[in-house]
Amino acid sequence: MSTWRVAAAILRKDLLSEWRTKDVLTGVLLFGFTVSVAFTFAFEPTADEARVIAGGLLWLAFLFASILGLNRGFARETANDCLAGLRLAPADPGAIYLGKLLSNLLLLFIAELVLLPVFGLFFNLSLWNRPGSLLLILLLGTWGLTALGTMFSAVSANTRMQELMLPLLLLPLTVPVLVATVDLTATLLADLPLAFAGLQFRLLVGFDIIFTLLCWLLFGYVVEE
Amino acid sequence: MALDRLRFGIEPGEFLVVLGRNGAGKTTLLRTLALLQPPSEGELLFDDQPARRLPTSFKQRLGFCGHDLALYDELTAEENLHFYARLYGLADAARRVPEVLEEMGLADRAGSRARSLSRGLKQRLALARAWLHRPDVLLLDEPATGLDAPTRERLHAWLAGCHRSGRTVILSSHDLAESLRPASRVLLLEKGAVLFDGPNSPGLADELKARLVAAAR
């Protein structure tokens, strides 16, 4: 019970801070928009080509934008040593992780929902034919990125090259997420049932569960001095 | 090594002032006692229990205010305290938060964002945060930093009140004369080791000063 209470308090605090500063959303949206524009002009794909490559480009844009968002999200805790304030509380470090994970997940998910129509417009793609499947892929992919990203943003927060360290740690380990989400998105854009990429779906769900549990268990060691 | 073979006990209800020059190990000692920093060697005991074996709920008994104030700049004073009240699971937060703000002389700044507060007001808000959950042990690292003279007086009166109510107060300072006043016991650190440990007494400030000068030579 106390785990959820603490996680909810952190989520609420992060959303209130974000509402006031727009720190994460502004950065992620601007970056995502710029990357989408750059990809459109770089490839100028036909409708058929767009359906093939859009999944990869979309998730690359989301991945890079999310790194920016994750870095900014944890910067709130390093300023004024607020992380010490969290660690002083009678809360399991896993609860702190869960709170930060939920706030990162929600903010990035909102940013992606805004970016998605922009991306669809630039690539002349109809992304909302199967909204349920699209939202599910988006949620699972973002969950995978933030599960690891939240953990590594805490690791990199204690290093001198904070902005550089997060992508260095995160990118190699999120390859399975990227592979699975790109395949699943391509399957969706080809108007095929998601069962065609059943292996990737299971891989993504497994990755999300395993890394969420692992990071939840290890977070205490990461934030300990 | 910030602390070197430190061995001492603190009785419940003591008012311990930890003194020492910059870099003597005061902050490390207080952060260790606040369970923020485990000792690299040795054992920290609370009620004869090793700190590493204590349940997380034990932290409810500790209140810590360090150099960095652990305040969220974009939240108001009131919101900061409500956030920490939720972390500590305070059932009476709606009553307790205004009460603590009043106690720290911040009632009229409850709606001000932490970012807009002066260093002194932020320090008072951080003290309010440390005191919010009514801890048994108050650990304050140079709490008078940034406070003007009247507010320092008020702080000492408040600390004396906490002590009278049976709380254990441990505060660090490098200001000998001022910090000794409310102390029941004094610990003088130099290069992480204990240079003096004893009860407060009249004229102690001069003795401690002499010891510090001798150690610095």
Dihedral of alpha carbons A166, A103, A94, B72, sign: positive
pTM of the model: 0.91
Residue B50's closest CA among B65, B61, B35, B36? B35
Residue B211's pLDDT is 83
List, in sequence order, the alpha helices (H) in chain A: 2-21, 23-43, 47-78, 82-88, 93-122, 131-157, 162-173, 175-189, 198-223
Query: If you average pLDDT over each of A27-36, A203-212, B149-158, B170-179, which comes out highest?
Result: A203-212
Residue A129: CB atoms within 10 A of its CB come to 11
pLDDT in tens, B106-115: 999 999 999 9
Residues of B in contact with A9 (CB under 8 A): 83, 86-87
pLDDT, averaged across chain B: 90
Q: Do B84 and A89 touch (CB under 8 A)?
A: yes
Residue A29's closest CA among A120, A107, A92, A138? A107
Q: Read off φ and ψ for residue B93, nearest 5 degrees.
A: -60, -40
pLDDT in tens, B148-202: 888 888 888 889 898 999 999 999 987 777 778 888 899 988 888 888 888 988 8
Residue B154's pLDDT is 87
For B102, residues 6+ apart whose C-beta sits below 8 A from its C-beta are: none
Q: Read off φ and ψ for residue B194, nearest 5 degrees.
A: -80, 125
Distances (CA, A) of A4 to A38, A208, B116: 41, 19, 31
Q: What percent of chain A has pLDDT over 70?
A: 99
Looking at residues A120-133, what average pLDDT do you find? 85
Interface of A with B (CB under 8 A): 2, 5-6, 8-9, 12-13, 16-17, 20-21, 76, 79-82, 84-92, 224-225
Higher pLDDT among residues A158 and B159, named by residue: B159
Query: CA triplet A213, B55, B80: central angle to 5 degrees?
Result: 80
Residue A175's pLDDT is 94
Annotate B4-33 with b (16+ C-beta within 10 A) or e (fewer): eebeeeeeeebbbbbbbeeebbbbbbbbbb
- Structure letter (DSSP) for residue B132: T
Residues of A in contact with B60 (CB under 8 A): 90
Q: Would you tell me which residues 155-214 of chain B have a C-beta closer than 8 angstroms to some C-beta of chain A?
A: none
Q: What percent of chain B has pLDDT over 90?
A: 51
Q: What percent of chain A has pLDDT over 90?
A: 56
Per DSSP, the three-state class of B45 is strand
Q: Do A13 and B75 touch (CB under 8 A)?
A: yes
Residue A93's pLDDT is 92
Per DSSP, the three-state class of B194 is strand
| Minimum CA–CA partner of B37 in chain A | A225
Higher pLDDT among residues B205 and A214, named by residue: A214
Residue B149's pLDDT is 86
The whole-angstrom separation of Cα A153 and Cα B119 is 29
Q: Do B36 and A91 touch (CB under 8 A)?
A: no
Of A79, A89, A224, Cβ closest to residue B59? A89
Residue A161: CB atoms within 10 A of its CB come to 9
Annotate A101-125 with b (16+ C-beta within 10 A) or e (fewer): bbbbbbbbbebbeebbebbbebbeb
Residue B112: CB atoms within 10 A of its CB come to 15
Is the per-residue pLDDT at B1 higher than 70? no
B207 falls in which pLDDT band (50, 70, 90)?
Answer: confident
Residue B153's pLDDT is 87
For residues A85 and B67, is the Cβ–Cβ distance under 8 A? no
A124 falls in which pLDDT band (50, 70, 90)?
Answer: confident
Of B35, B70, B79, Cβ closest to residue A82? B70
List, in sequence order, the alpha helices (H) in chain B: 26-33, 77-87, 93-103, 119-131, 149-164, 176-180, 204-216
Of A16, A82, A84, Cβ closest to residue B36? A84
A212 falls in which pLDDT band (50, 70, 90)?
Answer: very high
Question: Distance from B80 to chain A by nearest Cα, in Å?
Answer: 9
Of A8, A13, A84, Cβ closest to residue B70? A84
Is the per-residue pLDDT at B2 higher than 80? no
Is the per-residue pLDDT at B216 higher than 80? no
Residues of A in contact with B78 (CB under 8 A): none
Dihedral of alpha carbons A182, A183, A186, A188, sign: negative
Q: In whole angstroms, what separates CA A134 from the centre of its chain? A: 15
Of B56, B75, B84, Cβ closest to residue A17? B75
Token couple for B73:
């700049």
The total number of residues shown for chain B amounts to 217
Higher pLDDT among residues B83 and A38, named by residue: B83
Bridge partners for A152 per DSSP:
none
A75 falls in which pLDDT band (50, 70, 90)?
Answer: confident
Residue B204: CB atoms within 10 A of its CB come to 17
The residue assigned the tokens 């997940």 is: A105
pLDDT, averaged across chain A: 90
Pairing verdict, β B45-46 and B49-50: antiparallel
